[in-house]
Chain A
Amino acid sequence: MATAVMTSLDTKSRAASRGMSDIRIRNLFIIPTILFLIVFNIFPLIYSLGYSFTDFRASSNAPVNFVGLQNYRELLNDPFIWSNFAITAKYVIVSVTGQVIVGFGTAMLLNRDIPMKGLLTTLLLLPMMLSMAVVGLFWKLLYDPSFGIINYTLGLGSFEWLSNPDVALYAVAITDIWMWSPFVMLLSLAGLSAVPKHLYEAAAIDRAGPFYTFFRITLPLVAPILMIAIIFRTMEAFKTFDLAYILTSQPTTEVISIRLYKMAFQEWQTGRSCALAYIVLIMILAITNIYVKYLNKVKER
């Protein structure tokens, strides 16, 4: 047996010495990957950073002038841009909070012995498997004031969801909550199933109430995984484009991504839109950083 192992190892080492050394593996797989990343990720990132300091317009053949921080200065002083950021922030808060409440609540309900639990979980996951465009068009029909099923079911008559500037953002957020709560549910379910049963048994012996059990055992143990779900959903909600664009064209739903798209591809203010993209990037990085720090604190506890 020992001889056989030795022979096998010898064969492997011979194969390695024939050419599949670490250096060869690095040259064959890692270097091309790094080059690919540099060409398609890092280079455009740096290139667009350069453009953000110019008055470059992709639609024009005019010479490109260096304008320093002018794009950044103008953007940060533009009340429309701040209004777009405010709309985005409101959307992120409503949408992510809704997803956490609905997703975590559903996970709590599913984290018990119920019939056809597997089928139910799979069915609940369906919304997040659909394409954004399909969901947008589907919900547009649901919200329709003339024949939409939402008004019919709730007895709202011809209440306008998407045309009403005060409600349109919430209508988009409701759609997002419907679509992405299953994602939070899935992660929460994984966290809940990992909570050791003996903790609940000990709590039951100590006659702890359901609230005490939830706040002292369930939530602290699920919190790290829930935080990961919140980080992902916050980043995604901050970048929302499709749903808001398809569902409504209200100024009150013009999140920052839509403004960025219009600036870059309708107005062709390429340099300025690069600057805006960097401002958005910095904001997402800052928010994510805060979350990660909080996540680490939660983990330490």
Chain B
Amino acid sequence: MRKTMTGLIAGVGLMWACGTSAQAQELTIFWAEWDPANYLQELANEYEAETGVKVTVETTPWSDFQTKAFTEFNAKGSAYDLVVGDSQWIGAASEAGHYVDLTEFFTKHNLTQVMAPATVKYYSEYPANSKKYWSVPAEGDAVGWSYRKDWFEDPKEMEAFKAKYGYDLAPPKTWAQMRDIAEFFHRPDQKRYGIAIYTDNSYDGLVMGVENAIFSFGGELGDYQNYKVDGIVNSEKNVKALELYRELYGFTPPGWAKSFFVENNQAITENLAAMSMNYFAFFPALVNEASNPNAKVTGFFANPAGPNGEQFAALGGQGISIISYSKNQEEAMKFLEWFIKDETQKRWAELGGYTASAKVLESPEFQNATPYNKAFYETMFKVKDFWATPEYAELLIQMNQRIYPFVTAGQGSAKEALDALAADWNATFKKYGRNK
């Protein structure tokens, strides 16, 4: 009887021990539902083959991503161990204690040198210039452009364009040229339109679209160090940039007032527009003949320069962070150590993920791998981002409220919209005690 009891207790003990160990052998990463998340799952499968640790990339549609992630954070839930969170979240998530501080990890692995500088600045560091890091740059991304090479290279079109504008038709080098080309190809009677730009005002679509113009015109959204916005967000440069964006909206296909990444790829695949703005992360679908019948005649270019030659682009992409409420933080840290290795980053890029590793980005192998990788490489070293303060969502909504009526309906003027925005942002920063 005693032997039976001992055996039983030992069995239970063994089961308990195995259970605990099995629990630590699994990691869950939360991300939005898009192709890069599938590539990450493929990469994670290789990690499992190497280490035996099963990593699941759990996804949710983009429209729910922020709400679902923060609901889980707020509940201090341990459903996810890591999150590939949007760059704007970093202030809100770090100040609220949702992310594990990775400063030591950064120093130990010299990540400020390993990763492209802009990616470290916007995906990882908060507050700005504080040398405190909360995530490892994972999916580098920015806004770039695709265009219809066959339309651009048609001799008749080239001749007509040169006759009208006095210079050769080619992928635009400046925003002024882009405006001309958009106007030239805008032919509603033929159901062909000039350009597809971001206009969706429900999250950061429109704002990122306008940022591309603002940053390249030499403008800024404010001083991220001291929260000063007056004279910056409503500067003359920003007014000009917003006016041009409004003008470009006039060359978009009909009903383009709620368009984001899906519609902007459709503009190319469905022969709607000559040029289309989109995140580089969505370009793989454009070179794939299965998803784009025009794949062979689709070209790509980086965000053009503004009137003074400055050339920047709005940052997309995300860093990967360990969630404070995870019960597998140690295991998650090991995964990150594996993720930042050169060979892993190289493999990540091969799978279709956009590495932020400076070494991989600079390699000719990466730059020649796809028709858009070179433009991506050029862009990743000149990106800028929206505010990352905890109240970023309020700032985003206020910007949408002010600029959307002007861009899509021509209500008021660019100056009025930006002056009102400056007032809104000042009030918000005052409310949170940022600009005393």
Q: Contact check: which of A59, A146, A158, A248 meets B390 at CB < 8 Å?
A: A59
Q: Which residue of A lies closest to B394 (CB)?
A: A267
Q: Spell out A's residues near B (CB within 8 Å).
A: 58-62, 80, 144-146, 158, 160, 162-165, 248-251, 262, 265-269
A80 to B400, CA, bound (A): 13
Report how many residues on chain B are interfacial, defined by Cβ distance under 8 Å.
34
Q: Cβ of B408 < 8 Å from any Cβ of A? A: yes
Residues of B contacting A251 with CB < 8 Å?
Answer: 201, 401, 404-405
Q: Contact check: which of B202, B203, B258 meets A163 at CB < 8 Å?
A: B258
A251 to B402, CA, bound (A): 9
Contact B258 A162 (CB under 8 A): yes
Q: Separation in Å of the B365 CB from the closest CB of chain A?
A: 41
Contact B96 A59 (CB under 8 A): yes
Residues of B contacting A266 with CB < 8 Å?
Answer: 66-67, 203, 393, 396-397
Residues of B contacting A60 with CB < 8 Å?
Answer: 92, 95-96, 390
Contact A250 B257 (CB under 8 A): yes
Q: Cβ of B316 < 8 Å from any Cβ of A? A: no
Residues of A contacting B390 with CB < 8 Å?
Answer: 59-60
Q: Contact check: which of A58, A146, A165, A265 meets B255 at CB < 8 Å?
A: A146
Instruction: List 18 additional contacts besides A163-B258, A268-B92; criterion CB under 8 Å.
Output: A58-B74, A59-B74, A59-B390, A145-B255, A146-B191, A160-B255, A162-B255, A164-B409, A165-B408, A165-B409, A249-B201, A249-B202, A250-B404, A251-B404, A265-B71, A266-B203, A266-B396, A268-B393
Contact with A along B239-267 (1 / 0, CB 8 A): 00000000000000111111000000000
Residues of B contacting A250 with CB < 8 Å?
Answer: 257, 404
Q: Separation in Å of the A108 CB from the closest CB of chain B?
A: 37
A144 to B266, CA, bound (A): 15
Residues of B contacting A146 with CB < 8 Å?
Answer: 191, 253-255
Residues of A contacting B256 with CB < 8 Å?
Answer: 163
Contact A158 B254 (CB under 8 A): yes
A241 to B95, CA, bound (A): 32
Contact A80 B401 (CB under 8 A): yes
Q: Cβ of B435 < 8 Å from any Cβ of A? A: no
A250 to B408, CA, bound (A): 9
Contact with A along B196-220 (1 / 0, CB 8 A): 0000111100000000000000000
Contact with A along B378-419 (1 / 0, CB 8 A): 000000000000110110110001001100110100000000
A–B Cβ pairs within 8 angstroms, 6 of them: A59-B96, A80-B401, A145-B255, A163-B256, A164-B409, A266-B393
Q: Contact check: which of A62, A163, A268, A269 meets B257 at CB < 8 Å?
A: A163
A268 to B98, CA, bound (A): 15
- Contacts A61-B97, A162-B258 given: A249-B188 contact, CB under 8 Å? no
Q: Cβ of B165 < 8 Å from any Cβ of A? A: no
Q: Cβ of B70 < 8 Å from any Cβ of A? A: yes
Q: Which residue of A lies closest to B188 (CB)?
A: A158
Q: Cβ of B134 < 8 Å from any Cβ of A? A: no
Q: Which residue of A lies closest to B256 (CB)?
A: A163
Q: Which of A60, A158, A248 has the most CB of B within 10 A?
A: A60
Contact B254 A160 (CB under 8 A): yes
A163 to B256, CA, bound (A): 7
Residues of A contacting B67 with CB < 8 Å?
Answer: 265-266
Q: Cβ of B372 < 8 Å from any Cβ of A? A: no
Q: Which residue of B lies closest to A160 (CB)?
A: B255
Q: Which residue of B lies closest to A163 (CB)?
A: B257
Q: Contact check: which of B92, B200, B397 meets A59 at CB < 8 Å?
A: B92
A164 to B409, CA, bound (A): 7
Closest 4 CB pairs of A and B: A163-B257, A145-B254, A158-B254, A145-B255
Residues of A contacting B73 with CB < 8 Å?
Answer: 59
A165 to B401, CA, bound (A): 13
Q: Which residue of A lies closest to B76 (CB)?
A: A61
A42 to B254, CA, bound (A): 49
Q: Contact check: which of B66, B96, B200, B257 meets A162 at CB < 8 Å?
A: B257
Q: Contact check: which of A58, A249, A269 meets B394 at CB < 8 Å?
A: A269
Residues of A contacting B257 with CB < 8 Å?
Answer: 160, 162-163, 248, 250
Q: Which residue of A lies closest to B206 (CB)?
A: A249
Q: Separation in Å of the B230 CB from the closest CB of chain A?
A: 20
Q: Separation in Å of the A158 CB from the closest CB of chain B?
A: 4
Residues of B contacting A144 with CB < 8 Å?
Answer: 255
Contact A163 B255 (CB under 8 A): yes
A144 to B411, CA, bound (A): 23
Residues of B contacting A267 with CB < 8 Å?
Answer: 391, 393-394, 397
A160 to B253, CA, bound (A): 11
A156 to B70, CA, bound (A): 44
Residues of B contacting A164 with CB < 8 Å?
Answer: 409
- Contacts A58-B74, A249-B201 given: A163-B188 contact, CB under 8 Å? no
Residues of A contacting B401 with CB < 8 Å?
Answer: 80, 251
Q: Separation in Å of the A160 CB from the closest CB of chain B?
A: 5
Q: Separation in Å of the A64 CB from the closest CB of chain B?
A: 13
A249 to B202, CA, bound (A): 7
Residues of A contacting B71 with CB < 8 Å?
Answer: 265
